[in-house]
Homo-oligomer: A and B are copies of this chain.
Amino acid sequence: MKPAKSYILNIKPYVPGKPIGEVKRELKLTSVIKLASNENPYPVSPKVRAAIVKAASQVTRYPDGGCFILRSALAKFLKVQENQLIFGNGSDEVIVLAVKAFVGEGDEVIIAKPSFLIYEIASRIAGAKIHDVPLKNFCYDLPAMKAKLSKRTKLVFIGNPDNPSGKFINTKEAEDFMKAVSPDTLVFFDEAYFEYVNAKDYPDTLKLMKKYPNLMVTRTFSKMYGLAGLRIGYGIASPEIIDILNRLREPFNVNSLAQAAAVAALADQPYYRRLAKDIEAQRRYLYSSLKDLGFKYEDSFTNFILIQVANASQVAAGLLKKGVIIRDMTGWGLPDYIRVSIGTASENKKFIKSLEEL
Protein backbone atom coordinates (compact mmCIF):
# COMPACT_ATOMS: atom_id res chain seq x y z
CA MET A 1 0.00 0.00 0.00
CA LYS A 2 1.49 3.29 -1.12
CA PRO A 3 0.16 6.62 0.11
CA ALA A 4 -1.59 8.88 -2.40
CA LYS A 5 1.25 11.41 -2.13
CA SER A 6 4.81 10.24 -1.63
CA TYR A 7 5.57 13.28 0.55
CA ILE A 8 3.33 11.80 3.26
CA LEU A 9 6.22 9.47 4.11
CA ASN A 10 8.43 12.51 4.78
CA ILE A 11 6.07 14.01 7.34
CA LYS A 12 7.50 13.70 10.82
CA PRO A 13 4.66 13.25 13.27
CA TYR A 14 4.43 15.76 16.14
CA VAL A 15 6.17 14.40 19.24
CA PRO A 16 4.06 15.27 22.28
CA GLY A 17 5.51 15.89 25.74
CA LYS A 18 5.71 12.68 27.78
CA PRO A 19 2.70 12.00 30.00
CA ILE A 20 3.53 11.97 33.72
CA GLY A 21 2.51 8.32 34.02
CA GLU A 22 4.97 7.24 31.34
CA VAL A 23 7.86 9.12 32.96
CA LYS A 24 7.06 7.57 36.34
CA ARG A 25 7.01 4.13 34.76
CA GLU A 26 10.27 4.64 32.86
CA LEU A 27 12.31 6.24 35.62
CA LYS A 28 10.62 4.53 38.55
CA LEU A 29 9.93 7.87 40.19
CA THR A 30 7.02 8.46 42.55
CA SER A 31 6.87 12.24 42.35
CA VAL A 32 6.99 13.81 38.91
CA ILE A 33 5.92 17.31 37.88
CA LYS A 34 5.19 18.26 34.29
CA LEU A 35 6.00 21.78 33.11
CA ALA A 36 6.26 20.79 29.47
CA SER A 37 2.92 21.27 27.70
CA ASN A 38 1.75 24.71 28.83
CA GLU A 39 -1.12 23.18 30.72
CA ASN A 40 -3.11 24.84 33.47
CA PRO A 41 -1.48 23.47 36.66
CA TYR A 42 -4.39 24.14 39.02
CA PRO A 43 -7.27 21.81 39.85
CA VAL A 44 -10.29 21.75 37.55
CA SER A 45 -12.86 24.37 38.51
CA PRO A 46 -15.39 22.63 40.81
CA LYS A 47 -18.23 23.88 38.60
CA VAL A 48 -16.58 22.40 35.51
CA ARG A 49 -15.99 19.11 37.28
CA ALA A 50 -19.66 19.01 38.33
CA ALA A 51 -20.74 19.64 34.73
CA ILE A 52 -18.58 16.74 33.52
CA VAL A 53 -19.94 14.37 36.17
CA LYS A 54 -23.51 15.40 35.34
CA ALA A 55 -22.98 14.87 31.61
CA ALA A 56 -21.26 11.49 32.14
CA SER A 57 -24.64 9.73 32.13
CA GLN A 58 -25.33 11.03 28.63
CA VAL A 59 -22.30 9.61 26.83
CA THR A 60 -24.35 6.85 25.16
CA ARG A 61 -25.85 9.56 22.92
CA TYR A 62 -24.01 11.27 20.07
CA PRO A 63 -22.93 14.81 20.90
CA ASP A 64 -24.83 17.75 19.49
CA GLY A 65 -22.98 18.19 16.19
CA GLY A 66 -23.91 21.87 16.10
CA CYS A 67 -22.79 22.62 19.71
CA PHE A 68 -26.10 24.48 20.16
CA ILE A 69 -25.81 25.49 23.83
CA LEU A 70 -22.08 26.24 23.78
CA ARG A 71 -22.38 28.19 20.53
CA SER A 72 -25.10 30.38 21.95
CA ALA A 73 -23.14 31.04 25.18
CA LEU A 74 -19.84 31.75 23.41
CA ALA A 75 -21.41 34.03 20.78
CA LYS A 76 -22.87 36.15 23.59
CA PHE A 77 -19.60 36.12 25.53
CA LEU A 78 -17.53 37.22 22.49
CA LYS A 79 -20.23 39.48 21.01
CA VAL A 80 -20.07 37.76 17.62
CA GLN A 81 -22.77 36.05 15.57
CA GLU A 82 -23.37 32.34 16.10
CA ASN A 83 -22.53 31.60 12.46
CA GLN A 84 -19.08 33.15 12.96
CA LEU A 85 -18.01 30.25 15.17
CA ILE A 86 -16.68 26.77 14.46
CA PHE A 87 -15.73 24.30 17.18
CA GLY A 88 -12.91 21.79 16.90
CA ASN A 89 -11.45 18.75 18.64
CA GLY A 90 -8.90 21.18 20.07
CA SER A 91 -8.05 24.35 18.15
CA ASP A 92 -5.44 22.29 16.28
CA GLU A 93 -8.34 20.68 14.40
CA VAL A 94 -9.50 24.15 13.32
CA ILE A 95 -5.94 24.86 12.10
CA VAL A 96 -6.03 21.65 10.05
CA LEU A 97 -9.49 22.49 8.64
CA ALA A 98 -8.36 25.96 7.56
CA VAL A 99 -5.33 24.52 5.75
CA LYS A 100 -7.48 21.82 4.11
CA ALA A 101 -10.00 24.44 2.99
CA PHE A 102 -7.70 27.09 1.57
CA VAL A 103 -4.35 25.51 0.74
CA GLY A 104 -3.93 23.26 -2.30
CA GLU A 105 -0.85 21.39 -3.49
CA GLY A 106 1.86 23.86 -4.46
CA ASP A 107 0.15 26.83 -2.79
CA GLU A 108 2.30 28.90 -0.45
CA VAL A 109 2.09 29.27 3.31
CA ILE A 110 4.13 31.66 5.47
CA ILE A 111 5.17 30.52 8.94
CA ALA A 112 7.54 32.05 11.49
CA LYS A 113 10.39 29.83 12.64
CA PRO A 114 10.39 28.52 15.29
CA SER A 115 6.66 28.49 15.93
CA PHE A 116 3.95 25.98 16.87
CA LEU A 117 4.84 22.81 14.93
CA ILE A 118 1.30 21.97 13.85
CA TYR A 119 1.32 24.90 11.37
CA GLU A 120 4.11 23.25 9.45
CA ILE A 121 2.82 19.66 9.76
CA ALA A 122 -0.69 20.61 8.53
CA SER A 123 0.79 22.60 5.63
CA ARG A 124 3.07 19.72 4.63
CA ILE A 125 0.13 17.31 4.63
CA ALA A 126 -1.63 19.68 2.20
CA GLY A 127 1.44 19.62 -0.05
CA ALA A 128 2.05 23.35 0.40
CA LYS A 129 5.26 25.22 -0.31
CA ILE A 130 6.30 26.61 3.06
CA HIS A 131 8.16 29.88 3.56
CA ASP A 132 9.83 29.79 6.97
CA VAL A 133 10.64 33.26 8.24
CA PRO A 134 13.12 33.26 11.16
CA LEU A 135 12.18 35.21 14.28
CA LYS A 136 14.21 38.36 14.97
CA ASN A 137 15.08 38.67 18.66
CA PHE A 138 12.29 36.15 19.26
CA CYS A 139 9.73 38.47 17.62
CA TYR A 140 7.93 38.05 14.29
CA ASP A 141 9.96 39.65 11.49
CA LEU A 142 6.94 41.19 9.78
CA PRO A 143 8.87 43.02 7.03
CA ALA A 144 10.51 39.72 6.06
CA MET A 145 7.11 37.99 6.16
CA LYS A 146 5.62 40.73 3.94
CA ALA A 147 8.48 40.23 1.48
CA LYS A 148 7.44 36.58 1.09
CA LEU A 149 3.83 37.42 0.15
CA SER A 150 2.91 36.45 -3.41
CA LYS A 151 -0.12 35.63 -5.52
CA ARG A 152 0.23 32.00 -4.43
CA THR A 153 0.25 32.81 -0.70
CA LYS A 154 -2.94 31.29 0.63
CA LEU A 155 -2.28 31.39 4.36
CA VAL A 156 -0.11 33.24 6.87
CA PHE A 157 0.11 31.87 10.42
CA ILE A 158 0.50 34.31 13.28
CA GLY A 159 0.73 32.70 16.72
CA ASN A 160 -0.22 35.60 18.98
CA PRO A 161 1.26 35.27 21.49
CA ASP A 162 3.44 32.72 19.81
CA ASN A 163 4.78 29.43 21.08
CA PRO A 164 7.64 29.03 22.09
CA SER A 165 8.61 32.72 22.19
CA GLY A 166 5.75 33.94 24.40
CA LYS A 167 5.68 37.27 22.53
CA PHE A 168 2.95 38.98 20.49
CA ILE A 169 2.60 41.36 17.57
CA ASN A 170 0.82 44.54 18.66
CA THR A 171 -2.22 46.41 17.34
CA LYS A 172 -0.29 48.65 14.99
CA GLU A 173 1.82 45.77 13.60
CA ALA A 174 -1.28 43.62 13.06
CA GLU A 175 -3.12 46.40 11.24
CA ASP A 176 -0.09 47.25 9.09
CA PHE A 177 0.31 43.61 8.18
CA MET A 178 -3.35 43.20 7.21
CA LYS A 179 -3.03 46.24 4.93
CA ALA A 180 -0.15 44.59 3.08
CA VAL A 181 -1.95 41.26 2.53
CA SER A 182 -4.15 40.47 -0.45
CA PRO A 183 -7.84 39.87 0.44
CA ASP A 184 -7.40 36.37 -1.08
CA THR A 185 -4.84 35.38 1.56
CA LEU A 186 -6.09 34.08 4.89
CA VAL A 187 -4.28 35.57 7.89
CA PHE A 188 -4.67 33.11 10.72
CA PHE A 189 -4.23 34.47 14.26
CA ASP A 190 -3.76 31.58 16.68
CA GLU A 191 -4.67 33.07 20.04
CA ALA A 192 -4.38 29.94 22.18
CA TYR A 193 -2.74 31.95 24.98
CA PHE A 194 -4.95 35.03 24.54
CA GLU A 195 -6.45 34.81 28.04
CA TYR A 196 -3.02 35.17 29.67
CA VAL A 197 -2.07 38.38 27.86
CA ASN A 198 -2.17 41.50 29.99
CA ALA A 199 -1.02 44.28 27.64
CA LYS A 200 -2.76 47.36 26.29
CA ASP A 201 -1.36 47.12 22.77
CA TYR A 202 -2.45 43.50 22.20
CA PRO A 203 -4.61 43.58 19.04
CA ASP A 204 -8.41 43.29 19.14
CA THR A 205 -8.60 40.88 16.22
CA LEU A 206 -12.39 40.50 16.43
CA LYS A 207 -12.65 44.23 15.72
CA LEU A 208 -9.99 44.03 13.00
CA MET A 209 -11.94 41.16 11.38
CA LYS A 210 -14.81 43.54 10.55
CA LYS A 211 -12.45 45.51 8.35
CA TYR A 212 -10.48 42.52 7.03
CA PRO A 213 -12.75 39.52 6.35
CA ASN A 214 -9.66 37.47 5.40
CA LEU A 215 -8.63 37.43 9.05
CA MET A 216 -9.45 34.37 11.13
CA VAL A 217 -8.85 33.72 14.84
CA THR A 218 -8.62 30.53 16.88
CA ARG A 219 -8.76 30.21 20.65
CA THR A 220 -8.93 27.24 22.93
CA PHE A 221 -10.32 25.83 26.15
CA SER A 222 -7.08 23.81 26.55
CA LYS A 223 -4.89 26.49 28.10
CA MET A 224 -6.28 28.92 30.71
CA TYR A 225 -9.60 27.04 30.91
CA GLY A 226 -7.74 23.82 31.63
CA LEU A 227 -9.69 21.48 29.34
CA ALA A 228 -6.70 20.14 27.35
CA GLY A 229 -7.69 16.53 28.09
CA LEU A 230 -11.19 17.04 26.72
CA ARG A 231 -10.13 18.60 23.38
CA ILE A 232 -12.07 21.71 22.57
CA GLY A 233 -11.08 24.85 20.73
CA TYR A 234 -12.83 27.20 18.35
CA GLY A 235 -12.41 29.43 15.35
CA ILE A 236 -13.92 32.87 14.76
CA ALA A 237 -14.23 34.20 11.21
CA SER A 238 -16.70 35.55 8.68
CA PRO A 239 -19.83 33.39 8.17
CA GLU A 240 -18.52 32.64 4.65
CA ILE A 241 -15.23 31.19 5.91
CA ILE A 242 -17.02 29.26 8.68
CA ASP A 243 -19.42 27.80 6.10
CA ILE A 244 -16.51 26.47 4.04
CA LEU A 245 -14.79 24.94 7.10
CA ASN A 246 -18.06 23.33 8.20
CA ARG A 247 -18.24 21.39 4.95
CA LEU A 248 -14.92 19.71 5.80
CA ARG A 249 -15.64 19.09 9.47
CA GLU A 250 -16.61 15.65 10.74
CA PRO A 251 -20.20 15.88 11.99
CA PHE A 252 -19.51 14.90 15.62
CA ASN A 253 -16.02 16.32 16.05
CA VAL A 254 -16.57 17.78 19.53
CA ASN A 255 -17.47 15.32 22.28
CA SER A 256 -20.39 16.03 24.59
CA LEU A 257 -18.39 16.24 27.84
CA ALA A 258 -16.14 18.87 26.27
CA GLN A 259 -19.22 20.88 25.29
CA ALA A 260 -20.70 20.65 28.79
CA ALA A 261 -17.36 21.50 30.42
CA ALA A 262 -16.75 24.48 28.14
CA VAL A 263 -20.20 25.93 28.90
CA ALA A 264 -19.47 25.62 32.64
CA ALA A 265 -15.98 27.11 32.25
CA LEU A 266 -17.27 30.15 30.36
CA ALA A 267 -19.77 30.77 33.15
CA ASP A 268 -17.08 30.53 35.83
CA GLN A 269 -15.04 33.63 34.94
CA PRO A 270 -14.14 34.62 38.52
CA TYR A 271 -12.31 31.28 38.99
CA TYR A 272 -10.23 31.84 35.86
CA ARG A 273 -9.50 35.50 36.57
CA ARG A 274 -7.98 34.49 39.92
CA LEU A 275 -6.06 31.72 38.20
CA ALA A 276 -4.62 34.02 35.51
CA LYS A 277 -3.49 36.40 38.28
CA ASP A 278 -1.78 33.53 40.09
CA ILE A 279 0.05 32.60 36.90
CA GLU A 280 1.19 36.22 36.53
CA ALA A 281 2.51 36.23 40.10
CA GLN A 282 4.28 32.92 39.52
CA ARG A 283 5.82 34.27 36.33
CA ARG A 284 7.33 37.14 38.36
CA TYR A 285 8.63 34.62 40.91
CA LEU A 286 10.30 32.61 38.14
CA TYR A 287 11.79 35.74 36.53
CA SER A 288 13.40 36.85 39.80
CA SER A 289 14.61 33.35 40.70
CA LEU A 290 16.13 32.88 37.22
CA LYS A 291 17.82 36.28 37.50
CA ASP A 292 19.26 35.30 40.89
CA LEU A 293 20.67 32.12 39.33
CA GLY A 294 22.12 34.12 36.41
CA PHE A 295 19.89 32.67 33.68
CA LYS A 296 18.81 34.67 30.64
CA TYR A 297 15.13 34.26 29.68
CA GLU A 298 12.64 35.78 27.24
CA ASP A 299 9.88 37.99 28.65
CA SER A 300 6.63 36.13 28.10
CA PHE A 301 2.96 37.10 27.85
CA THR A 302 1.83 33.52 28.38
CA ASN A 303 2.05 30.68 30.89
CA PHE A 304 5.48 29.51 29.68
CA ILE A 305 9.01 30.93 29.56
CA LEU A 306 11.87 30.31 27.18
CA ILE A 307 15.12 30.03 29.17
CA GLN A 308 18.66 30.03 27.80
CA VAL A 309 20.89 27.21 29.02
CA ALA A 310 24.29 25.87 27.95
CA ASN A 311 22.93 22.61 26.52
CA ALA A 312 19.17 22.11 26.44
CA SER A 313 19.25 18.33 25.96
CA GLN A 314 21.56 17.86 28.93
CA VAL A 315 19.52 20.15 31.14
CA ALA A 316 16.27 18.46 30.11
CA ALA A 317 17.73 15.01 30.85
CA GLY A 318 19.11 16.18 34.19
CA LEU A 319 15.79 17.70 35.24
CA LEU A 320 13.91 14.58 34.11
CA LYS A 321 16.00 12.44 36.47
CA LYS A 322 14.89 14.72 39.27
CA GLY A 323 11.27 14.25 38.25
CA VAL A 324 10.83 17.59 36.46
CA ILE A 325 9.58 17.39 32.86
CA ILE A 326 10.26 20.50 30.78
CA ARG A 327 10.61 20.96 27.02
CA ASP A 328 13.99 20.69 25.32
CA MET A 329 13.90 23.17 22.41
CA THR A 330 16.64 21.42 20.38
CA GLY A 331 14.05 19.93 18.03
CA TRP A 332 12.75 23.45 17.35
CA GLY A 333 16.19 24.65 16.29
CA LEU A 334 17.05 26.17 19.68
CA PRO A 335 19.65 23.81 21.19
CA ASP A 336 20.45 26.28 23.97
CA TYR A 337 16.89 26.87 25.16
CA ILE A 338 14.38 25.07 27.32
CA ARG A 339 10.69 25.98 27.53
CA VAL A 340 9.16 25.81 30.97
CA SER A 341 5.43 26.03 31.63
CA ILE A 342 4.47 28.01 34.70
CA GLY A 343 3.26 25.61 37.37
CA THR A 344 1.86 26.00 40.86
CA ALA A 345 3.99 27.74 43.51
CA SER A 346 5.40 24.45 44.80
CA GLU A 347 6.06 23.09 41.31
CA ASN A 348 7.94 26.23 40.34
CA LYS A 349 10.01 26.05 43.54
CA LYS A 350 10.88 22.44 42.77
CA PHE A 351 11.90 23.41 39.24
CA ILE A 352 14.12 26.28 40.46
CA LYS A 353 15.68 24.08 43.15
CA SER A 354 16.37 21.29 40.63
CA LEU A 355 17.86 23.76 38.15
CA GLU A 356 20.11 25.16 40.89
CA GLU A 357 21.29 21.65 41.85
CA LEU A 358 22.21 20.93 38.22
Contact = CB atoms under 8 A, between A and B. Distances in A.
Contacts of A59: 44, 48, 52, 226-230, 261
Nearest to A49: B56
A147 interface: no
Interface stretch (A88-96, A266-274, A284-292, A326-334): A88-96
A246 B9 CA distance: 10
B252 A16 contact: yes
A3 B244 contact: yes
A284 B104 CA distance: 51
Contacts of A229: 55, 58-63, 255-257
Interface in A54-78: 55-66, 68
Interface string A215-246: 00000001000111111000000101100101
Interface in A1-15: 1-5, 8-9, 11-14
Nearest to A20: B61
Nearest to A42: B60
Contacts of A2: 184
For chain A, the bracket of interface size reads 35 or more
A230 B256 contact: yes
A258 interface: yes
A261 B231 CA distance: 15
Nearest to A34: B61
A180 B89 CA distance: 39
A144 interface: no
A255 B104 CA distance: 29
Contacts of A40: 60
Chain A, interface SS category: loop
A282 to B, nearest CB: 15
Interface in A148-182: 154
Given A1-B214, A184-B1, A252-B92, A247 B9 contact: yes
Given A4-B154, A154-B4, A125 B228 contact: no
Q: Which of A16, A58, A257 has the most CB of B within 10 A?
A: A257
Contacts of A252: 16, 90, 92, 228, 231
A249 B53 contact: no
Nearest to A60: B226
Given A56-B44, A252-B231, A8 B244 contact: yes
A39 interface: yes
A1 B213 contact: yes
Contact of A255 (B12, B102, B118, B230): B230
B61 A19 contact: yes
A103 B56 contact: no
B5 A104 contact: yes
Q: Which of A102, A240, A247 has the most CB of B within 10 A?
A: A247
A9 B12 CA distance: 31
Contacts of A101: 3-4, 8
A256 B4 CA distance: 31
Given A4-B104, A14-B65, A62-B228, 6 more contacts: A1-B238, A13-B249, A48-B59, A53-B53, A59-B228, A60-B227
11 contacts: A1-B213, A4-B100, A4-B101, A8-B247, A9-B247, A43-B57, A59-B228, A60-B226, A92-B250, A92-B251, A229-B257
Closest 6 CB pairs of A and B: A4-B104, A229-B256, A59-B229, A60-B226, A14-B251, A16-B65
